[in-house]
Structure 1
Amino acid sequence: MRRESTRPGRPPPRDLQQTSPAAKVAPAASGSRPATLAERALLQRLHQLAGGPPVRLRLWDGFAVGAPAARFTLVLNDRRALYELLRHPNIGFGELYSRGRLEVHGDLTELLVELYRHIGRMRGAWPGWLTALWRDPPRNGAGLGDARHNIHRHYDLGNAFYRRWLDTAAMQYTCAYFETRELSLEQAQLAKLEHVCRKLRLQPGQQVIEAGCGWGGLARYMAKHYGVHVRAWNISREQVAWAREQAAREGLEDRVEYVEDDYRNIEGRCDAFVSVGMLEHVGPANYGALAEAIERTLAPGGLGLIHTIGRNRPAPVNAWIEKRIFPGTHVPSITELMRLFEEGGFSVLDVENLRLHYAETLRHWQARYLAARDAVRADYDDEFARAWTLYLAGARAAFIAGTLQLFQVVFAPGESNRVPATRRDLYASAAVPLDA
């Protein structure tokens, strides 16, 4: 594949390619028998069930379906790969790609955009038995023990791994805020932090509670730039340790406290409650517990903000993502999300959708990850490196195709009249100076 490195702080090239590299191991099909007529018919049917996308599907023996001039080609390198893909396309595609048994010729992200759109239009025409067979299993929420395990599997892969491709300004693993496309990733992530602070209308001396703080960048930003005191909860041991070190390095220990504990155990009182990128790990079954935590801590005149990936309609998370990348995850629809605020009797003041901002964020992450992929492969293995290549491409494709959204919701206790009159103050000046 073509790999282009980009300097930190500069936007990646627009035409960045993610063409699948050839697997390190020769395809298992090199000595396989040619596909049978039945297998060729299955391939044709699979292409039809996918909505006839502009993708050429090719078997191990060279037989192919789809337009010869298609921009993309998927190559199944062995007979078993065909049946694994047919058994459950989401899991099959992820596993086969990660192991080099399915190759992609063409831009991986653009291919996935086409597949998401065509399959989305075709899914309603599938027979009921096939819909049931290919359905991703739902996840409703994790108990405390499972939540710790799930977070450990994803966020405790090692801080060094994430530092290879996240921003250097605040180590943010959530959607950035691109006021203009010319912003670097660092500038856009700082702009996101500022945008959140403005929405919370923070004032010096206020108390803030943050649920799910990641590497602690938002808490430090609030304390440093707004003079507030922050208590931030997180159950990822590696993230909390790193956040505490950063706070000490920046001289913020007296204003920021990182608590290694679950959101269900949050205590104290606050003028602002914020959670950026945690709700996906909560699940609808636990929305009541989160609402109760907010209700018992947020002052009557306070404001809150929830920032979460979302959907236009309820659906389970992709089964391969849940299995290999984000275990125990649920991405809520806007209807499901509103139940959280109904549970706590909160008034929803503002909903903003930053979907295309996340697509742009992922474009930057992809560029940096691909530039560091050889190092990732050396630290882990080829399967891990390919899996994360697919994950980042698939996430970006989902935001481009509109199958995923990014919601920021500002809310207040139901009886509070201390609410913003307009949004004018949010946009009085740029969220971050261009020379940041």
Structure 2
Amino acid sequence: MSTAERESTLENRLLRRIQGLIGQAPIQLEFDQEKIGPPDPTKNESVVIRDRRTLAHMVLDPELGFGDGYMQGRIEINGNLVNILEQVFRSMRSSGKRSWYGRLFSNWLQHMQGNTRGGSAANIHHHYDLNTDFYKLWLDSHLVYTCAYFPTHSATLEEAQKAKLEHVCRKLRLQPGERVVDAGCGWGALALHMARHYGVSVQAFNISHEQIQYARAQARREGLTDQVTFVEDDYRNISGRFDAFVSVGMLEHIGREHYGELGRVLQRTIGNSGRGLMHFIGRNRPAPFSTWIRKRIFPGAYVPALREALEIFERQNYSVLDVENLRLHYAKTLEHWLARYERSVESVSSMFGPEFVRAWRLYLAGSIASFRTGMLQLFQVVFAGSACRQIPWTRAYLYTESARLENESQWTPARS
């Protein structure tokens, strides 16, 4: 078949349509005998589509078509999955194209996966109640399932997660005897760390039954049940007065339409005299979160731009004291997770089957690519009420081992 004849085939036209939708990414697309895109002999990376149904699905929406096709074994990757996704993400970001089907399906998901009280419970159950033994295969020993903090490039995952817990505690400037509320506490690592090392009492909330059961067992093992109470309940039901509020990795799960509710929780728990920290995945500008991730991995998720998240504090008249972006730390955290996951694929497959293995590989690889390319950010925001007395004079307390809270236990107003 001549070149002119080949280019006239339906399959070739569909491949070119997909190439246009992904912004002319420098990767080769293959279907049957058709190949388009610049082959790179130094990388030998390509996406091989195995059937016409997958080809048609990718034309409707490249993200959903690729995600489901890869998950179901109908797309094969030649080369490094993370590198290919990085190239596609960079190209798609510059092209700005999004299919009508993708927009329609994204809006439908947002409607169906709303984070009402009942909806949030179902969404969290889908992801976090899978099986704690599954997460033990590839997370650190304390099951910290959020961005780590690498004080050095050579730090291990365990060292970096411990450093993250300490980094959060220093930002909160915790003092013995204070009361802290932890919203979305996961398996309890931060709550236990705060009690163990800072002498505070903690109420930790989570609607994942699996995680709460594990956290309670850990508190009993460590003899910390007098200091830490793990509550299986929605963040909207938090009550009582606290000195500090902390939430690590929860904001992504509540939906922007519920930010007002979260702000009211802050006001009734820490008032004008308290302070808090929110740690969350964000982005540079507002946009819907990945449709495929919401469909298969994190139902109901929304990743806010920084200004969207700041509305939570503005509405309650809280002052933002510090914003830190740990994007590259999350890319490195995910690299550790993916490497450990790949070493455990036989165990994962025996638990959930081969489709699950591929879906979670794609989720972890795509997340690495998203943070490397800047599609996603990781923000830590420290905020406080107008009457808060724990406002630091400098940021030295974060990085100097000896600079603990006793050095600046009282806020001193500036005098002119």
TM-score greater than 0.5 by the shorter chain = yes
4+ runs deviating over 6 angstroms:
none
Q: How does 1:266-345 map to 2 (within 5 A)?
A: 266-345=238-317
The number of aligned residues is 391
Aligned to 2:63: 90
Aligned to 1:133: 101
User: Does 1:244 find its partner at 2:216?
Assistant: yes
Cα distance in 2, alignment partners of residues 424 and 231 from structure 1: 29
For residues 35 and 159 of structure 1, do their structure 2 counterparts lie closer, same or farther at Cα, with a shift above 3 Å needed? farther
AA at the equivalent of 2:223: G
AA at the equivalent of 2:59: L
Aligned to 2:350: 378
CA positional deviation for 1:421 = 1.4
Aligned to 2:233: 261
AA at the equivalent of 1:393: A
Q: 1:63 aligns with which of 25, 34, 41?
A: 34
The alignment partner of 1:385 has SS state of helix
AA at the equivalent of 2:38: A
Cα deviation 1:204-224 (Å, max 9, x = unaligned): 111000000000000000000
AA at the equivalent of 1:261: D
Aligned to 1:38: 10
Cα distance in 2, alignment partners of residues 209 and 388 from structure 1: 31
Confirm or deny: 8 A CA contact 2:281 2:379 kept in the other structure: yes
CA positional deviation for 1:132 = 3.1
User: Does 1:361 find its partner at 2:329?
Assistant: no
Cα distance in 2, alignment partners of residues 306 and 148 from structure 1: 21
Cα distance in 2, alignment partners of residues 174 and 265 from structure 1: 23
Confirm or deny: 8 A CA contact 1:279 1:308 kept in the other structure: yes
177-186 vs 68-77, which moves further: 68-77
The alignment partner of 1:174 has SS state of coil
Cα distance in 1, alignment partners of residues 57 and 21 from structure 2: 16
Cα deviation 1:139-166 (Å, max 9, x = unaligned): 3851000000000000000100101000
Bigger RCO of structures 1 and 2 (CA < 8 A, at least 6 apart): 1
The alignment partner of 2:205 has SS state of strand
Cα distance in 1, alignment partners of residues 21 and 234 from structure 2: 43
For residues 241 and 36 of structure 1, do their structure 2 counterparts lie closer, same or farther at Cα, with a shift above 3 Å needed? farther
Confirm or deny: 8 A CA contact 1:272 1:304 kept in the other structure: yes
Cα distance in 2, alignment partners of residues 328 and 208 from structure 1: 27
TM-score (norm 1): 0.87
Cα deviation 1:331-380 (Å, max 9, x = unaligned): 00011111111122211110000000000000000000000011100111
Cα distance in 1, alignment partners of residues 381 and 158 from structure 2: 23
Task: Give 5+ residue unaligned stretches, structure 2.
Answer: 1-5, 404-416
Task: Give 5+ residue unaligned stretches, structure 1.
Answer: 1-33, 432-436
Aligned to 2:3: none
Root mean square deviation, CA, Å: 1.7
AA at the equivalent of 1:65: I
AA at the equivalent of 1:285: E
Q: 2:394 aligns with which of 401, 415, 422?
A: 422
AA at the equivalent of 1:298: I
The alignment partner of 2:319 has SS state of strand
294-303 vs 101-110, which moves further: 294-303
Cα distance in 2, alignment partners of residues 79 and 269 from structure 1: 59
CA positional deviation for 1:43 = 0.7
AA at the equivalent of 2:73: G
Cα deviation 1:404-426 (Å, max 9, x = unaligned): 00000000013435411111110
Cα distance in 2, alignment partners of residues 327 and 393 from structure 1: 18
Cα deviation 1:254-276 (Å, max 9, x = unaligned): 00000000000001111110000
CA positional deviation for 1:282 = 0.9
Confirm or deny: 8 A CA contact 1:47 1:53 kept in the other structure: yes
CA positional deviation for 1:326 = 0.1
